[in-house]
């Protein structure tokens, strides 16, 4: 389990809050290369579905983010969905993506 710096710990808190606020399967948060943060929960609508991290990346990109420094996904599933990883990798090849359980314990 990695030691996170204070800025990445904030992402865990934001992701947990997004998940709890919407009672979503997942919560996610990311920090762009300008230091702005974005948080989102899973989107599950009849016409489209997004993982929480896809939703956070979409919010960042639509706000003009040009890169991602780090991202966090909070889920009880214990796995990071491939679609979430691809959403980040489209923008940032090497940004760390942390997986945490609902208590905030980082698993990877």
Domains of the chain (ranges, CATH numbers): 6-107 (3.40.140.10)
In tens, the pLDDT along 11-55 reads 999 999 999 999 999 999 999 999 999 999 999 999 999 999 999
Q: For residue 83, how many C-alpha atoms fall within 13 Å in the half-sphere facing its CB?
A: 10
pLDDT confidence bin for 1, thresholds 50/70/90: low
Q: What is the pTM assigned to this prediction? A: 0.95
Neighbours of 60 (CB within 10 A): 26
pLDDT of residue 90: 97
């Amino acid at each position: 389990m990695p030691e996170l710096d204070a800025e990445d710990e904030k992402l865990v808190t934001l992701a947990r809050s997004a998940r709890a606020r919407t009672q979503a399967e997942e919560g996610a948060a990311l920090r762009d290369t300008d230091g702005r943060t974005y948080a989102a929960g899973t989107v599950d609508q009849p016409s489209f579905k997004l993982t929480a991290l896809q939703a956070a990346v979409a919010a960042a990109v639509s706000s003009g983010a040009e890169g991602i420094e780090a991202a966090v996904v909070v889920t009880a599933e214990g796995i990071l969905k491939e679609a979430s990883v691809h959403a980040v990798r489209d923008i940032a090849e090497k940004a760390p993506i942390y997986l945490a359980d609902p208590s905030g314990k980082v698993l990877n």
